[in-house]
Amino acid sequence: MIYFLRGLHVSRIAFRCLQAHTILLFLIATTTLFGDVYRIRKGDTLLISVIGQPEYTHSAQVREDGRISYFGGDLDVVGQTVERVNQQIREFLVSEGLVRNPVVMVSPVLQENGVFVGGAVKLPGRYPISPETDIGLYRAIALAGGMAENADHQVVQLIRTDVSETVQTYDLSPAHPYRNIRVNVNDLVFVMPLSAIEVQGQVQTPGKFFIRGQISIEEALARAGGPTQEADLTALVKVEMNGNLSEFNRSEQFWKSTPKAGASPSLSNGDVLFVPNVFRVEPIYVIGYVRTPGAQRVRGPLSLPQVVALGGGFEASANREAVLIHYKDGTTVEVPFMSDPADGAAQQVLLYPGDILEVKKKFQVNWGLVSTLGYIVISGITLILNLSN
- In the structure, what pLDDT confidence band is assigned to residue 223 with cuts at 50, 70 and 90? very high
Distances (CA, A) of 281 to 232, 251, 363: 11, 20, 36
pTM surpassing 0.75?
A: no
Average pLDDT over residues 44-71: 82
Which pairing describes strands 195-201 and 125-127: parallel, antiparallel, or unpaired? unpaired
Amino acid at 14: A
Choose the most confident range, by mean pLDDT, from 24-33, 74-83, 125-134.
74-83
Length of the chain: 389
Which range among 158-167, 245-254, 375-384 shows the weakest confidence by mean pLDDT? 245-254
Q: What is the pLDDT of residues 73-101, one digit of tens each?
A: 888 988 888 888 888 888 998 888 888 88
- In the structure, what pLDDT confidence band is assigned to residue 28 with cuts at 50, 70 and 90? very low
Q: What is the pLDDT of residues 247-273, one digit of tens each?
A: 888 765 555 554 444 456 889 988 999
Which of these, 352, 313, 306, lies nearest to 329 by C-alpha position? 352
If you average pLDDT over every residue of the chain, what do you get?
78
Per-residue pLDDT at 15 exceeds 50: no
Which pairing describes strands 188-193 and 356-359: parallel, antiparallel, or unpaired? unpaired
Q: What is the pLDDT of residues 330-355, one digit of tens each?
A: 889 998 886 554 444 444 688 888 89
**Cβ proximity of 209 and 203 under 8 Å:** no
Average pLDDT over residues 350-362: 87
pLDDT at residue 198 in the model:
92
Give CA 220 to chain center in angstroms.
25
- In the structure, what pLDDT confidence band is assigned to residue 115 with cuts at 50, 70 and 90? confident
The domains found in the chain, sorted by start residue, are 2-108 (3.30.1950.10), 115-193 (3.10.560.10), 195-275 (3.10.560.10), 282-359 (3.10.560.10)
Which range among 15-29, 178-192, 326-340 shows the weakest confidence by mean pLDDT? 15-29
How many angstroms separate the CA atoms of 389 and 385, rounded? 6
pLDDT at residue 131 in the model:
64
3-state secondary structure the chain: CHHHHHHHHHHHHHHHHHHHHHHHHHHHHHHHHHCCCCECCCCCEEEEEECCCHHHCEEEECCCCCEEEECCEEEECCCCEHHHHHHHHHHHHHHCCCCCCCCEEEEECCCCCCEEEEECECCCEEECCCCCCCEEHHHHHHHCCCECCCEEEEEEEEEECCCCCEEEEECCCCCCCCCCCEECCCCEEEEEECEEEEEEECECCCEEEEECCCEEHHHHHHHCCCECCCECCCCEEEECCCCCEEEECCCCCCCCCCCCCCCCCEECCCCEEEECECCCCEEEEEEECECCCEEEEECCCEEHHHHHHHCCCECCCECCCEEEEECCCCCEEEEECCCCCCCHHHHCCEECCCCEEEECECCCCCHHHHHHHHHHHHHHHHHHHHHHC
- Max distance between CA atoms of the chain, in angstroms, equals 104
